[in-house]
Amino acid sequence: MRRMVWMAAVVMMAAGVAGSGTGSAAQAQQQAQPSGAAQKAARDWQSQHTRQLLEDFPWLERFRAMDAELPPPAVDETRVVFMGDSITENWQHDGVPQVPEIPGHPWVKINRGISGQTTPQMVLRFRQDVIDLMPKVVVLMAGTNDIAQNTGMMTLEDTENNLATMADLARVHHIRMVICSVLPAVDFPWHRGLQPAEKIRSLNAWIKHYADDHGLVYVDFWSAMANADGGLPANLSKDGVHPNQAGYAIMNPLVDAGIQKALAQPAP
């Protein structure tokens, strides 16, 4: 999802040139090409992204200091960690902060989403960013960027295995899990043409089945948000992938109900 930063720049630069007037076919073709500045921004982003993956693939450094500064849960505290990608990270503006706003409150939500991440990256940081924070509940929403191929080609089975691994880790450490559906999408602005809608449906069907079989709580955002094409409608998202405030307004009561259901169950 971090690819969106430079992809947006490319699109805007191209659109600005294309609107400057009519001309020959050759001029039109030249106008459709990204500007030198946009191309450089894309190269710079790709270089930075590649270096970050090579030096710290799971990006443990992202939350290392924040995790270390976070005190253990208070006796009466119900700590809930949200693990995910940019959809989770952006949730910090709509009810799931990275730093608890009221430490010691009976419900303390902690956001550990990282934009652009795939499930193999989340598996590698699950101990630092979830287990070591000692939550009673973890809310996991992941898989969008696997389908988008952010860290390379992945099969749905690869994603399913990684989700199951995180569920196993939570279970071993007596953490209840709320596992969420992947949000609807018919295309990814940063990687066009992958036709993700049907893959998302298939992955969500597996997630629900896995949750039912393993005593996890499944939260179905997809059914509450998808349009007839299996996409995220414009009133809930600006780009067809990331929820806006109206989208999170739908998600918040659903996830809260899921957390309440998980807390009503004994710890694994």
The full set of domain ranges for the chain reads: 3-55, 61-263
pLDDT value for 56: 87
Check pLDDT > 50 for residue 235: yes
Tokens 């109206």 belong to residue:
246
pLDDT band at 95 (very low <50, low <70, confident <90, very high): confident
The letter for the amino acid at 62 is: R
Q: How confident is the model at residue 19 (pLDDT cuts 50, 70, 90)?
A: very low
CATH of 61-263, one of 3.20.20.150, 3.40.50.1110, 3.20.20.70, 3.40.50.300: 3.40.50.1110
Residue with tokens 């969008």: 144
When pLDDT is cut at 50, 70 and 90, the band that residue 67 belongs to is very high
Both structure tokens of 157: 């089975």
How many CB atoms neighbour CB 16 within 10 A? 11
Helix axes 25-32, 3-18, angle to 10 degrees: 160
Give the residue-averaged pLDDT of 249-253. Answer: 97
pLDDT band at 210; cut points 50, 70, 90: very high
- Average predicted confidence (pLDDT) for the chain: 87
Nearest to 164 by CA among 210, 113, 202, 112: 210
Instruction: List % helix, strand, coil for the chain (3-state, nearest 5).
Output: 50, 10, 35
DSSP per-residue string spanning 139-177: EEE--HHHHTTBTB---HHHHHHHHHHHHHHHHHTT-EE
The Cα–Cα gap between 172 and 48 comes to 36
Residue 183: its pLDDT value, please?
98
Cα–Cα distance measured from residue 251 to residue 82, given in angstroms and rounded to the nearest whole number? 13
For residue 87, give the nearest of 61, 48, 117 by alpha carbon: 117
Mean pLDDT, range 254-260, rounded to an integer: 97
Q: Where are the beta strands (DSSP E) in 199-250?
A: 217-219
Q: Poorest-confidence range of 5-14, 143-152, 236-245?
A: 5-14
Reported as a single tens digit per residue, the pLDDT across 168-204 is 999 999 999 999 999 999 999 999 999 999 999 999 9
Q: In 3-state terms, what secondary structure has residue 237? A: strand
- Tokens representing 55 are 């030096």
pLDDT at 190 (0 to 100): 94
Q: What is the pLDDT of residue 20?
A: 38
Token pair for 105: 């409150």
pLDDT at residue 10 tops 50: no
Residue 36 pLDDT: 80
User: What is the widest separation between alpha-carbon atoms in the chain?
Assistant: 72
> What CA–CA distance (Å, rounded) separates 24 from 249?
48
Residue 102 has what pLDDT?
63
Euclidean distance between CA atoms 225 and 7, whole angstroms: 25
- pTM attached to this predicted model: 0.84
Question: What is the distance, to the nearest Å, from the Cα of residue 102 to the centroid of all Cα atoms in its chain?
Answer: 24
User: Which pLDDT does position 6 carry in this prediction?
Assistant: 38
pLDDT for residue 17: 32
